[in-house]
A and B are shown apart, each in its own frame.
Chain A
Amino acid sequence: MADKKKMKLKVNGVWREVETRPDRILLDLLREELGLTGTKKGCEAGECGACTVIMNGRAVLACLVPAAKADGAEIMTIEGLAGKGGLHPLQQAFLEAGAVQCGYCTPGMLLAAKALLDTNPEPSLEDVKRAISGNLCRCTGYTKIVQAVRAAAVIVRAERSGAAGPQDAVKQAKRAAHR
């Protein structure tokens, strides 16, 4: 068993110091040492996407990242997605679209979608499906999740351009899906 090592990482905007075994996975570090249990453990083999977090701007599977690799890194977990003003547009769109069922894939799904919108603010249907294709969901059939991500993209773009977002982006996305 490897010796414990001191490391520092910025989680949801706050620098945290932890002492952990460098061979631990980031997922256990987040859940057990930092108490951030919103990141879910579904397979510990990089196959389900439930533990997706954003590390240095990229969506990563926390079960495949050795803790040592996160030393000095900037990480966003589900606990850091909502801002002071309330839910992130993605969370709001998931809620309004009915994209949440059992909720176990939801944190990972949201962060995979956030990483997409951060780099591609105008994703096509195919872009969205591809971005979440490593995140398994057994409940929803992905339909409403994809709708929600597309609706959130509209809102995020509008927010960035300073304009008020269309209030009914989710409804529009639903209508578009049925055409």
Chain B
Amino acid sequence: MSKESCDVVGCSVLRVDGPDKLTGKACYAGDIAFTGMLHLKLLRSDRPHAKILGIRIAEAQAHPGVVAVLTCRDIPGTNRIGREIRDQNVLSVDKVRFIGDPIALVAAKTPEAAEAAAALIRVDYEDLPGIFSPEEALAPGAAKIHPNGNLLMEQSLLRGDPDRALQGADVVVANTYRTPMVEHAYLEPEAGVARFDGGNLTVWMPSKYSHFDQRELAEAIGLSQGLVRVVNTTIGGCFGDKTSLSPGYYAALAALKTGRPAKMVYSREESFMATRKRHPFVIRYTTGASRDGRILAAKIEILADTGAYCASGPTVLVKSLIHAAGPYDIPNISMKVTFAYTNNPVGGSMRGLGVPQVAFAHESQVDIVALELGMDPFDIRVKNGFRPGSVTATGQKLGDSVSLVETLAAVRAEVERIGTPPSTAAKRYGWGVAAMFYGIGAGGRSNPGGARLEVDDAGVFTLFVGIGDVGQGSSTALVQIAAEVLRCRVEEIRLVSGDTERCPDSGVTAASRVTYIVGRSVQIAAEKMIGLLREAAASITGVAPGSLRLDGGFFLSSEDPSRRVSVAQAVAAARGEGIPLTAEGVFDPEFIALNPVTGQGAPMATYAFATQAALVAVDTGSGEVEVLSIVACHDVGRAVNPDGVTGQIEGGISMGVGFSLTEEILLEEGRIRNAGFSQYFLPTSLDMPETVALIAEAPEATGPFGAKGVGEPALLPTAPAIVNAIHAAAGVRVKELPATAEKVWRLLQESERP
């Protein structure tokens, strides 16, 4: 597809939600209050694995201000949730599986009373053996966390003959990599508010998928779906979390049972303890290459801790399998990916869905192979990197929208321009590079996204999408796409999003899919809307519909520009003829599901590509690593909003800096030891490097105006680029994230030993 000339798409228009967020008017769930509203507190398990023998609530019920104390017996519905496997309870029934499992819900007149009463609930437990690693979980005779055992899922992949190829390789590199459990750490702790009026339940909550939450919570608490409305509030960050079993579910249950409005807000500690996390991975990786730098084979084994429940485990597993060989044309590959249950916090979806973990491994491997061969790290990536028509590990032949090599060239030029400061004995400087590819949307399954457009009598368009903006700017991008098709300004389109009563199901805000999939649906709906209005305009002017084009609120005749009809006139004419002016668009990208044995298929319709390079300074005395510069270039197909894209890249880099250097959930027998920002270290403004964010555009034919996605790709190359830079600077190889000062210092000590 050629690059279309656009007026709105491709411009950094101001965010549609900017003014409200800048003036304090934006409404987050925690800002909602109703008269007579009850406040909620959960009693959560303080045992990692135990049978519940009894729950004594009398004392809590008698506490002043308490209106209700609810346990699993009070739930009229299925009490079960889970997007992929329904293995989790809203309130635990007979067993708890991690520290934080919900057991009883207190509804009281004040938050203080709810908290005090929750502390009065007594649970009689019978402890079961705790399992805190996937290795223990899969050992013979291990205690069963779920009735079917501790294996959540296993998937293999085979392409070519990797054993034979490794035998013929000139260099073989084998290493084991480990990545930690990571917290999403959005700034807005989870919150939800619900009202039950006249038999209808309304739930206000930050949700990355309100239609799913509507279905799931209705069934779990025992209401028909038609009686439940989920309204998305402003989302204060999500990064993959904030769906399923969030406070909105408990607010809904309490409102249903008490008939009063109810509100629940997590404390920061509860947000750490109770919500999902990035899966920790152990990755065993063998790579073989020829003397001239061709990567011939890769053998990859991944073992991941999925925690106490399934959550998004299978999605993360499949995504890690699809991407574990990296953006390289490798003819011989085998993989085995295993996810096991443990009594640790639940692994969920988090920005990158398993790919940040494998990107750390494949980019370390490529770097090590280059070193062994004496090759330049850019050259080896260019030599093996995907091009249009390359074949991925799953056997998928890529289309035309592949700009990996261009991103490598752009980053290399910028790195050469910046240069490397001279190292001293105390401070060593070095650049590292890393590349990535990332499939846009769900892997190997259907994931449609609906959009609807309406127009009022004044000719003003309203776009309805089920999707919520998690902060990444999708609302602005979707409005831009609509405005581009409808040839008007962004301000002339109203947006209604994330309200199950008014919006179509657009699928989930995840997998970097919103701009590509929902954006394409918006484009389709807008084109249909023009078609409807053009017919009406043609009947007014008497010219053929084909000779009318829409611009600036008017249909203009190409033959006679003086014959013009406003959108409002066309609306009136269409209504007069009884034509309904509603246009719907649904795009569901094509895919071929993965073969369960060979892992072969075409799981995603399109992929994003990127390269990042990091300049670090390593303090040889303390082991401390400072990231000085990051240069990033991302192939996004088409940047709908360039400032939005660079904002995603810069934010992804900060998350990558945290992933590589400081962030790690510390566990002790399933208990989080660092549940707060004074012990869990997010990058601050002082930790951020100078960043250069570049955009490459290889238009994707199936995307809206050529767009793909960028939200998750932004983070993927950062950590491996930093780790490779640490090696370039100081000669030590970090194989276990995060690269804390202590870890780097130890490696420096070991490297100095004779």
Give the B-binding residues of A (Cβ under 8 A). 31-32, 36-45, 47-48, 50, 77-79, 81-82, 87, 91, 94-98, 100-107, 110, 128-130, 132-146, 177-178
Contacts and interface: CB of A to CB of B under 8 A. Distances in A.
Contacts of A135: 685
Interface stretch (B14-22, B420-428, B566-574): B14-22
A41 B235 CA distance: 14
A39 B23 CA distance: 10
A80 to B, nearest CB: 9
A104 B186 contact: yes
B628 to A, nearest CB: 14
Interface residues of B, number: 60
Given A40-B187, A40-B188, A95-B14, A143 B688 contact: yes
A141 B268 contact: no
Contacts of B24: 36-39, 77-79, 107
Contact of A101 (B23, B472, B693): B472
B34 interface: no
Contacts of B25: 38
A133 B23 contact: no
A135 B33 CA distance: 26
A169 B478 CA distance: 28
The winner among B21, B239, B646, B683 for most chain A CB atoms within 10 A is B21
Nearest to A81: B23
Contacts of B33: 32
A94 B20 CA distance: 12
Contact of A132 (B21, B30, B239, B685): B685
B186 A138 contact: yes
Closest 6 pairs between A and B when the two form their complex, measured CB to CB: A38-B24, A102-B471, A103-B21, A104-B236, A141-B654, A98-B643
A100 B21 contact: yes
Contacts of B496: none
Contacts, number: 173
A44 B22 contact: no
B31 A101 contact: no
B28 A100 contact: no
B677 A48 contact: yes
B644 interface: yes
A44 B186 contact: no
Contact of B684 (A44, A98, A133): A133
A103 B14 CA distance: 14
B185 A138 contact: yes
Contacts of B688: 129, 141-143
Interface in B262-304: 265, 267-268
A95 B471 contact: no
B525 to A, nearest CB: 26
B655 interface: yes
B647 A144 contact: yes
Nearest to A82: B23
A67 B644 CA distance: 39
Interface string B642-669: 0110110011111100000000000000
Majority DSSP secondary structure for residues of A touching B: loop
Given A103-B26, A140-B654, A143-B650, A95 B268 contact: no
B686 A103 contact: no
B192 to A, nearest CB: 15
A136 B243 CA distance: 23
Contacts of A38: 23-25
Interface of B: 12, 14-15, 17-28, 30-31, 33, 184-189, 234-239, 265, 267-268, 470-473, 643-644, 646-647, 650-655, 676-678, 682-686, 688, 690-693
Contacts of B267: 44
B188 A104 contact: yes
Given A50-B187, A101-B651, A140-B651, A43 B268 contact: yes
28 contacts: A43-B676, A48-B677, A50-B187, A77-B24, A78-B24, A94-B18, A97-B643, A100-B17, A101-B651, A102-B186, A102-B235, A102-B238, A103-B17, A104-B186, A104-B187, A104-B471, A107-B24, A128-B685, A129-B685, A129-B688, A138-B682, A139-B237, A139-B471, A140-B647, A140-B651, A141-B683, A144-B647, A146-B685
Contacts of B686: 129-130, 133
A84 B690 CA distance: 36
B187 A102 contact: yes
Contacts of A139: 237, 471-472, 647, 651
A132 B683 CA distance: 12
A103 B682 contact: no
Contacts of B678: 45, 47
A47 B677 contact: yes
Contacts of B643: 97-98, 144
A139 B683 CA distance: 11
Contacts of B693: 143
Given A40-B187, A45-B678, A98 B471 contact: no
Contacts of B651: 101, 138-141
Given A102-B470, A104-B187, A105-B187, A43 B22 contact: no
A94 B22 CA distance: 8
Given A104-B188, A138-B185, A144 B650 contact: yes
A140 B650 contact: yes
A100 B23 contact: no
Nearest to A146: B685
Contacts of B690: 177
B187 A137 contact: yes
A92 B54 CA distance: 58
A31 B24 CA distance: 11
Contacts of A136: 187, 677, 682, 684
A45 B189 CA distance: 13
A48 B187 contact: yes
A99 to B, nearest CB: 8
A171 B20 CA distance: 23
Nearest to A92: B22
Contacts of B650: 140-144
A144 B691 CA distance: 10
B185 A44 contact: no
